[in-house]
Structure 1
Amino acid sequence: MGNTDKKATSRSRGSRQDGDATRQTLLDVAGQVFAERGYADATSKEICERAGTNIAAVNYHFGSRGALYEAVLVEAHHHLLKLEEMQEIAARELSPRDKLRVILTGIVQRATGPQAHWGARVVIRELMSPTEHAPALVQKAIAPKAMLMVGLVCQITGLPPTTPGLQRSLFLLMSPCLALLVAPREMRTKLFPALSSDVDGLVDDMMTYASAGLAAIAAKYSASAPPPGG
């Protein structure tokens, strides 16, 4: 490869890196703006100004403000619960209950951490007041993680994934995590300080509560299941 080709390749690589950096900056700044103002009141102009980019950058990197918001929703949920981390945990040589404990610990640590991340506020806003982009959050971020969790709960209960009680129990299992995100910090630090002061203790109690519930669901639906060939 000649010097000219090497320089062209270097410029191309540098351009891609600059573009990736700009896209990530837009994503982070947009997340903060959407968290502060909500989707309806956040403008591409403010996002670009705060990001230090040209006003056309949103359309260039994402196609539209709506597509940027969908990317923010996915990034926000990713911060709270990373699919790659869940997959790595699921592949470990641990019991299903221990895998569940590790996953819950990560969620609780993020939900109760001292530094609030814009991701939690964006997800809460969307859940409390859904926009037309809610399906993207469900399909791109929540669904693959939910399927992994279904698999864990199936292993714990011995029930098939189509069991109504299993699906309900998974929803009830994850609801406390959502409650931790929604609860005002003052409630967690002053009214119920045990929610923030001892993450391991909180996860232990969550697992005790969840294990009893899952055992009851397993017993209920196993007993009501028709016999093989019935």
Structure 2
Amino acid sequence: MKDTDDVMDGQDARSRLVMAALRLFAEKGYEGATTREICELAGANISAIRYYFGDKAGLYRAAFTEPMGDTPCGANLGTYAELAMPEALKLLFRDFLEPLKRGEETRLVMKLHFREMIEPTGAWQEAIDAEIKPQHDALVAMLTRYLGLPGVDVDVHRLAFSIIGMAVHFYVGLDVVSNVAPEMLGSAQDVDVLGERLADYAWSMIEGEARRRAGQGDRGAS
């Protein structure tokens, strides 16, 4: 039992460090937040940073990514290939919007992401290379197959960015949405309804693109 308790205590200490780092890095930036004040806020020993994260940079990477969940937004896109497009879209938006249920954590993550763009450490570029671009490529592949195209063209990229852009707006504009229409994100159920609506809007966009291509005579069999 003692070993189990030690593991749980360790997990708790690590989680406290990540959340303390998220708050302080979001408020002060990578250079402004010190490891000592992070540990004080987390109620952890300074040596815990080296033990769990290696160094301050490792802790920053954890704070930058982990609070959004174990699975990156849209990471399951590659598994949706066998589904009908409307169902795939529902799962996409469900997964993508899940972190919005985390409330204050998500606000802090967005604040940290905005700060990273102004004061880059390389974490944002890593996220683009490791998560965002593969997710985009997977969505582009889905759209290309559905539209019956021989290959990817710039309009498929436009469509993919437009579809995901609807969901991204609710992260980037989280404070605006919360002030203008707070009922949209008031509960976990509200977030789920939002995902369903965005899936419907995305389906309309895809069908509209299919009709446009058919009208131009450049759409293959679907």
**Could you state the TM-score of these two structures normalised by the residue count of structure 1?**
0.69
Aligned to 1:29, which of 20, 27, 35?
A: 20
Look up the match of 1:61: 52
Counterpart-to-counterpart distance in 1, 2:123 and 2:179: 35
Matched, 1:152 2:142: yes
Kept in 2, the 8 Å contact 1:73–1:137? The answer is no
The 5-angstrom pairing of residues 114-129 of structure 1 reads: 115-117=103-105, 118-127=108-117
Look up the match of 1:100: 89
1:74–1:94 CA distance, 2 compared to 1 (3 A): same
Counterpart-to-counterpart distance in 1, 2:120 and 2:71: 18
Which runs of 5 or more structure 1 residues have no equivalent in the other structure? 1-9
Look up the match of 1:212: 204
Counterpart-to-counterpart distance in 2, 1:213 and 1:143: 21
User: C-alpha displacement at 1:190, in angstroms?
Assistant: 4.5
User: C-alpha displacement at 1:163, in angstroms?
Assistant: 2.3
Give, as a single letter, the amino acid of the residue that structure 2 aligns with 1:133.
A
Counterpart-to-counterpart distance in 2, 1:226 and 1:106: 30
Counterpart-to-counterpart distance in 2, 1:114 and 1:23: 18
The 5-angstrom pairing of residues 128-139 of structure 1 reads: 130-139=120-129
Matched, 1:141 2:124: no
Q: SS at the partner of 1:38?
A: helix
Deviation string, structure 1 residues 48-77 (Cα, Å, up to 9, x no partner): 112222223223322221222122222144
Counterpart-to-counterpart distance in 2, 1:80 and 1:38: 25
Matched, 1:162 2:162: no
1:110–1:59 CA distance, 2 compared to 1 (3 A): closer
Query: How high is the sequence identity, in percent, across the aligned residues?
Result: 25
User: C-alpha displacement at 1:90, in angstroms?
Assistant: 2.5
The 5-angstrom pairing of residues 33-112 of structure 1 reads: 33-78=24-69, 81-82=72-73, 86=76, 90=80, 94-108=83-97, 110-111=99-100
Look up the match of 2:164: 174
Counterpart-to-counterpart distance in 2, 1:173 and 1:151: 14
1:36–1:200 CA distance, 2 compared to 1 (3 A): same
Question: After the TM superposition, which of the residue ranges 125-134 and 97-106 deviates more from structure 2?
Answer: 125-134
Counterpart-to-counterpart distance in 2, 1:157 and 1:164: 14
Counterpart-to-counterpart distance in 1, 2:207 and 2:92: 19
Structure number with bigger Rg = 1
User: C-alpha displacement at 1:40, in angstroms?
Assistant: 3.2
1:135–1:190 CA distance, 2 compared to 1 (3 A): closer
Give, as a single letter, the amino acid of the residue that structure 1 aligns with 2:158.
R
Which runs of 5 or more structure 2 residues have no equivalent in the other structure? none
User: C-alpha displacement at 1:29, in angstroms?
Assistant: 2.2
Question: After the TM superposition, which of the residue ranges 69-78 and 191-200 deviates more from structure 2?
Answer: 191-200
Kept in 2, the 8 Å contact 1:165–1:221? The answer is no
1:21–1:140 CA distance, 2 compared to 1 (3 A): farther
Give, as a single letter, the amino acid of the residue that structure 1 aligns with 2:170.
L
Aligned residues: 214
